[in-house]
Amino acid sequence: MSSTTSVGERIGRFAGTWFPLVVLVAAAVAILVPQVFLPIGPWITTLLGIIMLGMGLTLQPVDFAVIAKKPKAFVVGVIAQYLIMPLAAIGLALAFQLPPELLVGVVLVGSAPGGTASNVMVYLAKGDTALSVAMTTASTLLAPVLTPLLVLWLAGSYLPVDAWGLFQSIVFIVLIPVVVGVLLRMLLPRVVKAILPWLPLVSVLGITLVVLAVVAGSAATILSVGLLVALVVILHNGIGYGLGFLAAKAVGLDESARRAVAIEVGMQNSGLAAGLARTHFTPESALPAAIFSVWHNVSGSLLASYWSRRPPQAVPAAERELDDQPVAS
């Protein structure tokens, strides 16, 4: 068992390290020969469900202890997630006068929960990993309600939005698989422990297949307006990092928490956004999510690499104790 686990851990680390390059190459290949990958399209929601199941398998009660220890950091992070990115999305889409199909795609990305790869990036960036995991989980569990409402509010006047349909899709793609994963970890801990090291590889393969399918379905649009959408995506992602960090700094969070909030806000579950776009809108609406899937993994890796060489400054003991106090009920 130990040898199998060690092999899984090595493969998982390898997959995580080369994830940005793999996704980048996949996107390029899908543009060159889109017809090869079009058959993957109908499987996007299934692939996303598998990825979310993997996320659920990694969760355990200790992951939520940070909520009691650092309630301010947690609340600020989750609010920033669902405030900064949706508003930045509609602002950029209107500023660049994107057509309705692309506008709703950008809004979908902005209204999605945090990306699962963000936890790895926060860890590499020497940020507060426990806070990152709690934020990702909370934003994911809130997604069935908040994502449809935000898309309806921000994009409903530009394109018909089926909020109830979005809600149902997110429940089946996100909520149910995550809950099943948590239950499996509770009921079959030994089995889950054996497969945990392989989950990064499963996630990388799943996201890569989603990117192949989405980019293949949007290849023609990418060639015509890809540069404009890429610019919007890069700005959107950068605004998330910057304003996320500043929001955390404004309320007095320590450096490691600022890094966690910045990366959590900037990195979205763009795979989910792509799946929802293809299911409820048009293949063109999935283009912003496809580009975001590629770019945020590249930018997240670069930001994590930069911060990894700069350890967070120590917080004075008195300030740390004050921040760690739970909020009175």
Indicate which CATH number applies to the domain containing 77.
1.20.1530.20
Position 10 scores a pLDDT of 67
Is residue 59 within 8 Å of residue 182, measured between CB atoms?
yes
- Whether 148 is covered by a domain: the verdict is yes
- Whether 174 is covered by a domain: the verdict is yes
238 compared with 65, residue with greater pLDDT:
238
| Cα gap 147→166, rounded to integer Å | 8
- Whether 77 is covered by a domain: the verdict is yes
Name, in order, each residue with C-beta under 8 angstroms of 176's C-beta and a sequence gap of 6 or more: 49
- Whether 318 is covered by a domain: the verdict is no
Residue 307 pLDDT > 60: yes
List pLDDT tens digits, range 159-192. 888 889 989 988 888 888 888 988 998 898 888 8
Q: How many domains does the chain have?
A: 1
For 68, the token pair is 């009691």
- Whether 326 is covered by a domain: the verdict is no
Position 159 scores a pLDDT of 82
Q: Which domain holds residue 221?
A: 2-306
- Whether 167 is covered by a domain: the verdict is yes
List pLDDT tens digits, range 233-249. 999 999 999 999 999 99
- Whether 256 is covered by a domain: the verdict is yes
Q: What is the pTM assigned to this prediction?
A: 0.79
Position 156 scores a pLDDT of 87
Rounded average pLDDT over 48-77: 82
List pLDDT tens digits, range 115-168. 877 877 887 788 888 888 888 888 988 999 999 999 999 998 888 888 899 899
- Whether 312 is covered by a domain: the verdict is no
- Three-state SS for the chain is CHHHHHHHHHHHHHHHHHHHHHHHHHHHHHHHCHHHHHHHHHHHHHHHHHHHHHHHHHCCHHHHHHHHHCHHHHHHHHHHHHHHHHHHHHHHHHHCCCCHHHHHHHHHHHHCCECCCHHHHHHHCCCCHHHHHHHHHHHHHHHHHHHHHHHHHHHCCCCCCCHHHHHHHHHHHHHHHHHHHHHHHHHCHHHHHHHHHHHHHHHHHHHHHHHHHHHHHCHHHHHHHHHHHHHHHHHHHHHHHHHHHHHHHHCCCCHHHHHHHHHHHHCECHHHHHHHHHHHCCHHHHHHHHHHHHHHHHHHHHHHHHHHCCCCCCCCHHHHHHHHCCCCC
